[in-house]
Structure 1
Amino acid sequence: MKQHLQLKLSQQLALTPQLQQAIRLLQLSTIELNQEIEHALNENPLLELAEDLSESGGVQSNTLEKDTSKEDKPFDDDSFEQDSTWENLSIPTANRQDDEHGEDYFSVEEKISLVDHLKQQLQLLPLTQKDKLIISQLIANINDLGYLETPLEEIMEQFPGEVEIELEEMKTCLKLLQTLDPPGICARTLAECLLIQLHLQYASDPYYHLAIITCKDHLVLLGNRDYIKLKKVLKITDEQLRSTIQLITQLNPKPAEHFFLQDTKYIIPDVIVKKYKKKWVAQLNPQVLPRLKINQLYANLLQKNNSSSSLQQQLQEARWLIKNVQQRFETILKVSQAIVDEQQAFFENGDISMRPMVLKEIADLVGLHESTISRVTTQKYLFSPRGIFELKYFFSSHVSTETGGMASSTSIRALIKQLITNENPKKPLSDNQISDILNERGIVVARRTVAKYRESMQIYPTNQRKVI
């Protein structure tokens, strides 16, 4: 085989460390960005927080015009402009706890675990060592909702061979656990969970016995909302059935759920939308604007002595971070304003006026790549008089109308919800009827689509919405 040399020319995009950082910062949420900056402040002596906005220079929170100059152009995956004018910037202190507990005060209450909660109650009871051993094993098998799904016989097999446990001992300890708080804990079925709560909390209620019979023997009918048949088998009046159901709905089918809920995640909106001269305008939230600057003491030392290469590198990294954070906020603002411009009707009238929109539309408007728009709109939030929304919320699919136009899936969901809210509860609308009504209004939506949208909003079907 004959060997030979061949020259080949090709083009490829090389991501510089600064561009890599810029892209990474863009996809971070505000809280994650604050954590990143806090880490940088701890690691880089050339970087520090400014005392106030005037010292830091700040970021303008007004709207950027669509025809931004080349110097103001936000970064994209394919191009990145450097600007040496931004040395100082304002950065937020995320989740700070003000002494006066102002609007920026956030706290997460320390929660006791379910195991500790149960053990605290058991400390007050006279238990033998064997009882404690059995109860500990029962508690270890409770799931996150508070149920004991594992059969007692299987739990008995979990003990070491030298420990002899009788089934009756297991049942006795289980009954003891079921008297503890939260009511309904350690039940083996939903029916048992509800029955325990009725016995512990509502034994004196006038509808206690009807509720007991319903939970014990007719829970399927109740779950299916088959009220007509339920009233017939119980042989009761409408008023008695209504009161019985009202009592049962006070019970908690997931008694231990709150012990396993994740810590609350706070949303800090990046953008605030306000109406100005009959137009909705986006502004950066001043609470999240950075307050970063270069440490002038170290910077002046470096000007006099260039021998420290490590400090020179840290100075460059500090400048990169400041510029990249600045560009991040400029990009978020520019994209947000483009979204607001396209969705003026939504901010005026709500979901029912949401227009269909895809990432490419905004990408074309602001001159950025679709992947950049995707990063900008993920985990970035907008606050408006209509609520807080992730920027991604404003992008939705569409269906055709008879007039040749398009309607967004969000507006169709809002119309379906509106129709169901205003329906006669004794004669609720079927999915077919809703489809026909929408078709009469020029929105072509099949029955299957109506059902899909209804289910996505967790709205019951016709037979379960009907009231007696």
Structure 2
Amino acid sequence: MLKQFLNLKLSQKLSPQQIQLMKLIQLPTQAFEQRLKEELIENPALESGSDTEEIYEADEFDAQDEFDGNETIEADEINIDEYLSDDETPDYKLQANNYSDDDEERSSPLAAQVSFHQDLINQLNTFILPDNEREIAEFLVGSIDDDGYLRRTISDVVDDLAFTQGIYTDEKTVEKILHIIQDLDPAGVGARDLQECLLLQLKHKTPTEYVDLAIDILENQFEPFTKKHYEKLLQKYEISQDQLRKAIDEIEKLNPKPGGSFGSNTRMVEQIVPDFTIRIVDGELELTLNGRNAPSLHVSKDYQEMMQTYKDSRDKSNSQKDAVQFIKQKLDSAKWFIDAIRQRQETLYVTMNAIMHFQQEYFLDGEETSLKPMILKDIADLVGLDISTVSRVANSKYVDTPYGTKLIKDYFSESMKNDQGEDVSTLEIKKILQTVIEEEDKSKPLPDDQLAEILKEKGYPIARRTIAKYRDLLDIPVARMRKKI
């Protein structure tokens, strides 16, 4: 049997302004500037820069006063005076604009670069090859990845040439042409694996005693070499440690990714624009927000004049009424956006200010061991914001400090107890672990259980498996792979 009844419940919904604010907060400076440009293009009622128009005051706007573009509002119901101002001195004349010409992002012209594969083709053009072999050679060049490797078998290449290019050949011909490509620069290009790549580079070198020994090791003892079984190599070749060390030095000079060296010269360098700057002035910390995060915005004077014209006109036509509704929507959107930017500035500043004071000892001396355990909730409680809001600030913003530019989230860490029962940051433990490994005897590197014992002696009782986890996070290999002769 069907029954009809009322159900009353509370639910929380984010307003469009709150959603807009959350999206703006998580944007770093460069992305925020792009978003600002898009909004200026989309909304003609919003303008930037110093002009004679009045900057909208946030106090005059109620964030909860939403306007839904789908609802119908009669033009007679719009209070025109709310969109006009009789203030003789606009706010923009009373405000300082810290965004100077020096802060502008200046672009430099970039020279057109030849791609890695095009460079190989250009080199290939210096060889005299029959048409069919040239087509095979160009196909092989196109099959080389950005690291410079041909990660396909010769039989697969032969099949692909037949099915996709209509070129029928055999493995012997493809192998011969591949050797031509392997003579191109950079040395090692066209290799099918790391062993072949290193051998190609060594064979391009001037033969010496140690180069020849390195070639022999890679050709016949590659597995013991990669596993650093140096005792086996010493017994096999009946050589001294000094001779083996010099042969290994020849190998370590080689480039395991020959294509990468070409790409690094042509790839655009990404530049980090810090969102905050922390400086030490007279022994005190000083925090500033990047001027690009505080743009000068105001409502268009032309749109305000349109509203005034509508108010002064006696005979209001239907087209004028439709126009004033459109103008109202654009003005509301502009005001909401200006208000969201101001809230963004305040949120960014108070959050970073709380982090700076929480980690005051670190920012004053720069020692990573001075970093305190800090989680998102600690900062959220200090500033009275939600944890998700603090996370948005920390995950995408950079701060310029006297010790370098770092991602804010790197200052957050869990806590562990030392032997005194005090809470210490896991960052502090990782730094000490890294220092211990850097100072170890590389001929006898310390295994994880010995590292755990050393840290325990220093006052950090940590299990061996935790040592292994921190070592992996620091990108440090196991003891056997750290061994040197």
Give the TM-score band, short-chain normalised.
0.7 to 0.9
Q: For 1:156-305, what aligned pairs fall within 5 Å after superposition?
A: 156-160=158-162, 163-200=167-204, 202-258=205-261, 263-305=268-310
Q: Deviations over 1:139-158 (max 9, x none)?
A: 23223322112111121111
State percent identity of aligned pairs: 32
1:439 aligned partner, one-letter code: K
Structure 1 residues 258 and 42, CA gap change in structure 2 (3 angstroms): farther
Partner of 1:127: 129
> Is the deviation greater in 369-378 or in 275-284?
275-284
Structure 1 residue 263 displacement after superposition: 4.6
Q: Which residue of 1 aligns with 2:74?
A: none
| Offset at residue 411 of structure 1 (A) | 0.8
Residues 96 and 279 from structure 1, CA distance in 2 versus in 1: closer, same or farther, beyond 3 angstroms?
closer
- Larger Rg belongs to: 2
Q: Return the alpha-carbon distance in structure 2 between the equivalents of residues 204 and 429 of structure 1.
A: 37
Q: Write out per-residue CA displacement over residues 309-345 of structure 1, whole angstroms, 9 at most, x where no aligned residue.
A: 3233222222222221121121111111111111122
On the 8 A contact 1:354/1:411 being kept in 2, the answer is yes
> In the alignment, which residue of structure 2 is the partner of 1:146?
148
**After superposition, what is the alpha-carbon deviation per residue over 1:400-426, rounded to whole angstroms, capped at 9, x for unaligned?**
222222121111100101122223334
CA deviation after TM superposition for structure 1 residue 177, in Å: 0.7
Letter in 1 for 2:341: V
User: In 2 relative to 1, CA 355–111 (structure 1 residues): closer, same or farther, beyond 3 Å?
Assistant: farther
SS in 2 for 1:183: coil
Contact 2:21 2:340 in 1 (8 A): yes
**TM-score normalized with structure 1 length:** 0.84
Q: In structure 2, the residue corresponding to 1:407 is in which secondary structure?
A: strand
Range that drifts further, 393-402 or 254-263:
254-263
Q: Is the 8 A contact 1:57 1:90 kept in 2?
A: no
- Cα 1:295–1:258 shift into 2, 3 Å: farther
For residues 446 and 162 of structure 2, the distance between their equivalents in structure 1, rounded to whole angstroms, comes to: 60
Q: Deviations over 1:34-81 (max 9, x none)?
A: 1111111222222222149x99989xxxxxxxxxxx98xxx9xxxxxx
Q: Which residue of 1 aligns with 2:72?
A: none
Q: Secondary structure at the match of 1:334?
A: helix
Q: Deviations over 1:231-275 (max 9, x none)?
A: 332322233222222221221111113566775432111111112
In the TM superposition, what are the counterparts of 1:451-466 in structure 2 within 5 Å?
Answer: 451-466=468-483
Q: 1:340 aligns with which of 326, 351, 356?
A: 356
Q: Which runs of 5+ in 2 are unaligned?
A: 64-84, 312-319
Report the AA paired with residue 135 of structure 2. L
Corresponding residue SS for 1:159 = helix
The structure carrying a bigger helix percent of its residues is 2
Asked if the contact 1:92–1:290 (Cα under 8 Å) also holds between the matched residues in 2, the reply is no
Q: Is the 8 A contact 2:362 2:368 kept in 1?
A: yes
CA distance in structure 2 between the aligned counterparts of 1:431 and 1:423, rounded to whole angstroms: 12
Q: Which residue of 2 aligns with 1:381?
A: 398
* Aligned CA distance change for structure 1 residues 11 and 414 (closer, same or farther; 3 Å): same
C-alpha displacement of 1:7: 1.7
Deviation at 1:446, TM superposition (A): 0.8
